[in-house]
Structure 1
Amino acid sequence: MTPTRISFEKWFERQYASMELCFLCGKTLTKDNSTKEHIFPQWILNKFDLWDKSITLLNGIRYDYKRSIIPCCNVCNNEHLSKLESIIKNGVEKGYQFFKENVPLIAIYQWCQLIFYKWLYKETFFKENVKDPHSEKIVRKENFESMSLNHLLLRSIDKRIKFENFFPGSIFICHLKTGQNASDNFDYLDAVPEQCIMLRLGEIGIVVMLADSEIQKYVFADQYRVYLSNILAPIQLKNLFIQCMYRQHLFNDPYSFELKDITDDSLTISQIPKENFTGDVYTEWLHTDYAILLNQVFGGGMHNYLVEKGIPSFLFDKDGNFKDRAFDSDGTILPNE
């Protein structure tokens, strides 16, 4: 198939809550080229028995995985996205060690950015309050417009985009314990303002900061090493996600981006320091705020997450050693015990 050449400006063809455009390339959809793209691909729904399961949207409503689809053209769906899905699927099927050693980080990043963007795109169609006919949408137009960088980074799936002197996000891949039921071995969490995502795919756990230029990966390498060198229970992976997300909440990005070498089909993104950047890249860690966050996720009372020193964690026992927790450990087992 000969690719259709379009002007660079068409890369950014996006419309709020539109079923008439491909969510990725912006092509106008017709009865001949229109397809439906599952937010979670069908191989995941099959592998983890999710066809009759549901996810909680940002408005608190449960929504079936099988109904979670968005508009996509046949070229993006059957060529570009299919190729990416094949890489991820092959890695997941072959297990943690193969996935970690062989699946390219750029493919993992693209796929996680894709899942994150597709959910938010879907939520442009849903009301914040389903009982109010005049309610705003979950993802409002101004929120959607602020996701233009996410969309640009996604175009690296179907266009030739070079990240010249940086990688767009921190990626952590963890080895996980698994349960007997297929659906118990899947989980998905995201934090929209912080641009963080967590996926649990059997024995493979993935936590990604989508917009931190790998800063967490390097600045906090020592703190995160224990997560990456042990087999974790699901609650411990979730604990890593919460810790990463809170750090991202404290993050002041010292960089901006420059687009150059632009053609109809390619571009280079270069990272440059922000002029007059002052202050710390990460602002002060507030233990009370972190305790509130942990209590919101795990329950048990905020007082259980206020410790005299260090950071409360389901990863360690009271003596600071790694805690080997059962697969089904939950927040009723307090951290640091």
Structure 2
Amino acid sequence: MAQEIYHPFESFKFGNRNCFLSGEALTSEEEKIQVFPQWLMSRYQLEDKPFKMLDESMATYKDIKIPCAAYISEAFLEPLENEIAAAFETGYDALKEIDELKLFQWAGKLLYGIIFNEIQSGIKLQHSKGEEFNISQSIIHKFSNLHLMLQSLNLPVVFEDFKPYSVFLFKADNNPLEFGYRDEINTLTFSLRIRDFGLIICLQDNGANLSYHKEVYDKIKGQLLHPIQFEEFCGRVFYSAYLFNRLPEYNVMPANGEIYIEAMPLRGLSSKPLFDDWLNKIYGQVLESFWKNWGFLLLEIIKNPEQPMSFLFNPDGSLISEATIELPR
């Protein structure tokens, strides 16, 4: 029997009686897995730390779970988790050897797990007010496509000559105790800075952000970065993900026991560039947030509006060495 793609956003099934990935009925509402894996929570003592939801309510990291069939977890998620955990434990050199698709699947499952919890919370809140749950069609489109791509975990999915994501990986001189996690659900962008590396993934851009930042990324990707340098590049990517103005479209074609996914051209019928105009004032506001640990204010960052403050590049465009930066890690 041909395996079928599950479309949770068509029926809006976000209860706890169906597996988040396959949609099949579960035997119990207790059949769940942690969104943030136990090994990661244990390493950084995250279990009881607060995690702010979009509606400003607070959960703890260990509270964030998703319904998942036991065999899906055992056959598909646990082997991936074990491979990623081992690579994270070793650090940057091991992570470099991991298939990018697996990094995408791991980060995508984590971010989708947060989305699932946000939707559950939103549905409960609206129903308690006697209202229908509303969410924009463009957001549904993005979330639905992310879920489609995640089914490459449990179904024989083939991406035809494209990658649905952009991955950026750096070696970073981090404080070993720091857990630097950030996500932006609306743009499906994820970053993690721990151990001796920094990782950024745009989960639904068909590689557009990687192309957008290619020149800068090629200059710095082999260098050891100070955390403030990584956060600067992270700010660039999170901002460009916000400027990205396309909703990727795909053709899904089952054939010969496999499910082929083909990306439609991002340019489509529009003559607009793929990214809206870069505004240094807005970028400066992003940097102010990303540099919060070091206390730089917007006025300092955009003192020269044409050339915002940078710890990556000198005014002449040459790369700043991590060893010369005298700031705390």
Q: Report the TM-score when normalising by structure 1.
A: 0.82
Q: 1:269 aligns with which of 261, 277, 283?
A: 261
For the pair 1:231 / 2:231, whether they are aligned, the reply is no
1:114 is aligned to 109
Residues 7 and 128 from structure 1, CA distance in 2 versus in 1: closer, same or farther, beyond 3 angstroms? closer
Is the aligned partner of 1:19 residue 2:16? yes
1:125 and 2:120 are equivalent in the alignment: yes
Task: Indicate which of 164, 168, 175 corresponds to 1:168.
Answer: 164
1:322 corresponds to which residue?
320
What is the TM-score of this pair, normalised by structure 2? 0.84
- Corresponding letter in the other structure for 1:88: I
Residue 288 of structure 2 aligns to which amino acid in structure 1? N
Q: For residues 34-49 of structure 1, what are the structure 2 equivalents within 5 Å?
A: 35-49=31-45
Deviation at 1:85, TM superposition (A): 0.8
- Contact 2:244–2:274 (8 Å) recurs in 1: yes
**Any conservation in 1 of the 2:167–2:200 contact (CA below 8 Å)?**
yes
The structural deviation recorded for 1:123 is 1.3
Moved more, 187-196 or 138-147: 138-147
- Number of residue pairs matched by the alignment: 317
Q: Deviations over 1:117-154 (max 9, x none)?
A: 01110112325998x96398999486774311111000
Choose the corresponding residue for 1:209, options 184, 202, 206. 202
Deviations 1:179-233 (A, max 9, x none): 253xx2x222111222211012311211011111112223321212344232223
Q: CA deviation at 1:115?
A: 1.0
Aligned-partner Cα distance in 2 for 1:297–1:161:
36
Task: Between 12-21 and 35-44, report the one with greater CA deviation.
Answer: 12-21
Gaps of 5+ in 1: 330-337
Q: Do 2:34 and 2:64's aligned partners in 1 also have CA atoms closer than 8 Å? A: yes
| Residue number in structure 2 paired with 1:97 | 93
Equivalences for residues 237-256 of structure 1 within 5 A: 237-253=230-246, 256=249
Distance 1:327 1:158, change over 3 A: farther
C-alpha distance 105-326 of structure 1, shift in aligned 2 (>3 A): farther
What SS is found at the alignment partner of 1:225? helix
Question: Residues of 1 paired with 2:300 and 2:121: CA distance?
Answer: 36
Q: Is the 8 A contact 1:171 1:207 kept in 2?
A: yes
Superposed CA RMSD:
3.1
Report matched runs for 1:73-88 at 5 Å: 73-88=69-84
- Range with bigger deviation, 281-290 or 151-160: 281-290
CA offsets 1:9-50 (integer angstroms, 9 cap, x no match): x6224534311111111111113x962211111111122222
Contact 2:281 2:305 in 1 (8 A): no
